Chain A
Amino acid sequence: MRAMERPKPLMQIKQRIEQFVSREGRRPRVLVSNMARRSHDQDTNLLASLFAETGFDVDISPLHQTPRGTARMAIENDVHFICFLSTENDHKKLATDLVKDLKAENADNIGIVMGGKIPPSDYDFLYGAGVDLILNSALIDVESVNRLFDLIG
């Protein structure tokens, strides 16, 4: 029996993952960090499952993680990039602190991806602070995954 045909863009992503694996020796690995102060965050879990379904290895942080805790976990698990959602109005500070904490540990090669409700007027600031990619929602789609691969090679 033939497996169901995958839509073309998804095939492309699959190919990019395979290329990545044959070059790097492992799957792209992402830390989905929950730095929100809210007590639960379904968006974070959904985002993590989307990454895993796409073929990424996904680490999830404990709740209410600090930027320093996020940096430490990213280093320990040796991920290629960190992804976190902005839920309150503190994304500028979180991003700046995270960049600083990664740098302090000599790990500024780890990419930073942000998503959630981020006003476009903040994009320049965030990119300037060292964020590598901003998603315009709390989800990933084919386009954003492709942009991610442009980022991590």
Chain B
Amino acid sequence: MDTQAYIDGVLAKNRRIVAKTITLIESSLSAHQKMAKAIVDALLPHAGQAVRIGITGVPGVGKSTYIESFGLQLVKQGHRVAVLAVDPSSSKSGGSIMGDKTRMEKLSLEQQAFIRPSPSGGTLGGVARRTRETIVVCEAAGFDVIIVETVGVGQSETTVASMVDFFLVLMLAGAGDELQGIKKGVLELADAIAINKADGNNIENAKRAKIEYKKALSLLTPSSKTWSPPVLICSAVTMDGIDDIWQTTMDHRKKMEASGELALKRSKQALDWMWALVEEGLRDRFYRNPEIKKSLSKILKAVEKGDIAPTAAAHRLLDLHN
């Protein structure tokens, strides 16, 4: 398939070709990357209109089930929803298990939905290297709500927050110390907090947790003049509160658009994207540099044995790269 066939296929909303394009984008081969770059460049003018939502939360908070309910609700309202989920790869075998769809039983069969899990590969923080490019492809294929799900550990939240319009943090109530275990950094990124699993006996706990989180948020300096992150409660099982979260997302969008902050955010994100690519390119060039390839293993051994100080070794490697 040539570049144009990919572009035409994506614009024609062909599911198989959208999937193939994402594979191309995630490929580690430079020939594939070159093609992917041309495709993304051609698709860029067709992208940008979707509502981009990032969703995070600790393992067990019910992210996949939440997305199943949330996504189905949106599809029912006539939206086309793409879900991009990143799953951690094992550092030992390199393989990965992507089981999010096991909990997205109905959404995964909807004609108006597209769910693509990606292995994190070697990337730190667990965000697939190419989620931004994948967002562009999905938008060009006519998806108007893009949901990016993160693993909820490490630095992936910051990365995902830097590519979405609205960042939702899912929390649990009733686990004792509500604020234990979440980093302040994650709260700072949140455009809204939703306490999930507020059903049955847990509703009272959720309401109490809501007050706690509200207090915690009030201690933070708001990042926007027009928006202070609300705390909501919901249940992905009973569907209670799910629509409120969508209304909150829309409310956020309206206010951000009116104040010009959305445009500002997007242009700042364009810079983030650029820098991410520059840093990745630098790392790539470093490892591909023949001088580095020649000496790297020798220097690594010397550091391991203690023959060279790590600082001196780093300098030597960087000098070699110049």
Instruction: Using CB atoms and an 8 Å cutoff, list the residues of chain A in contact with chain B.
Output: 17, 21, 24-27, 48-49, 51-63, 69, 72-73, 75-78, 105-107
Per CB-CB distance, the 9 closest pairs between chain A and chain B, nearest first, are A25-B27, A25-B29, A52-B95, A62-B105, A78-B19, A60-B99, A55-B95, A78-B23, A55-B93
CB within 8 Å for A60 and B98 given contacts A52-B90, A78-B19: yes
State whether B99 touches A75 (Cβ < 8 A). no
Give a binary string over B1-42; 1 marks a CB under 8 Å from any A CB, 0 the rest. Answer: 000000000000001100110110011110010000000000
- Chain B nearest CB: distance from A124 CB in Å? 31
Q: List, sorted by A's number, 14 A–B pairs whose CB atoms are closer than 8 Å.
A: A17-B94, A27-B119, A55-B94, A55-B95, A56-B95, A58-B95, A59-B99, A59-B101, A60-B102, A63-B105, A73-B108, A78-B23, A106-B16, A107-B16
B115 in the interface (beta carbon within 8 A) = yes
B317 in the interface (beta carbon within 8 A) = no
- Chain B nearest CB: distance from A145 CB in Å? 12
A105 to B16, CA, bound (A): 8
Number of B residues whose C-beta is below 8 Å from A?
Answer: 32
Cβ contacts under 8 Å, B115 to chain A: 76
Cβ contacts under 8 Å, B99 to chain A: 48, 59-60
B104 in the interface (beta carbon within 8 A) = yes
State whether B114 touches A76 (Cβ < 8 A). yes
B247 in the interface (beta carbon within 8 A) = no
State whether B23 touches A27 (Cβ < 8 A). no
Cβ contacts under 8 Å, A105 to chain B: 15-16
State whether B97 touches A58 (Cβ < 8 A). yes
State whether A53 touches B117 (Cβ < 8 A). no
Cβ contacts under 8 Å, A76 to chain B: 15, 19, 114-116
**Given contacts A48-B97, A60-B101, could you give 15 more A-B pairs where the C-beta distance is less than 8 Å?**
A25-B27, A26-B27, A49-B97, A52-B95, A55-B95, A58-B97, A58-B98, A60-B97, A61-B102, A62-B102, A62-B104, A63-B105, A69-B108, A78-B20, A78-B22
A105 to B15, CA, bound (A): 9
- Tell me the interface secondary structure of chain B in the complex: mixed
State whether B98 touches A57 (Cβ < 8 A). yes
B96 in the interface (beta carbon within 8 A) = yes
- Chain A nearest CB: distance from B83 CB in Å? 10
Cβ contacts under 8 Å, A55 to chain B: 93-95
A80 to B119, CA, bound (A): 15
B109 in the interface (beta carbon within 8 A) = yes
Cβ contacts under 8 Å, A21 to chain B: 28
B 94-136 contacts with A by CB, 8 A: 94-99, 101-105, 108-109, 114-117, 119
State whether A25 touches B28 (Cβ < 8 A). yes
Interface centre among A51, A63, A77 (most CB of B within 10 A): A77
What residue in chain A is nearest B32 (Cβ atoms)? A25
- Chain A nearest CB: distance from B149 CB in Å? 15
Cβ contacts under 8 Å, B105 to chain A: 62-63
Cβ contacts under 8 Å, A63 to chain B: 102, 105
Cβ contacts under 8 Å, A69 to chain B: 108-109
CB within 8 Å for A27 and B95 given contacts A57-B119, A78-B22: yes
What residue in chain B is nearest A64 (Cβ atoms)? B105
A55 to B90, CA, bound (A): 8
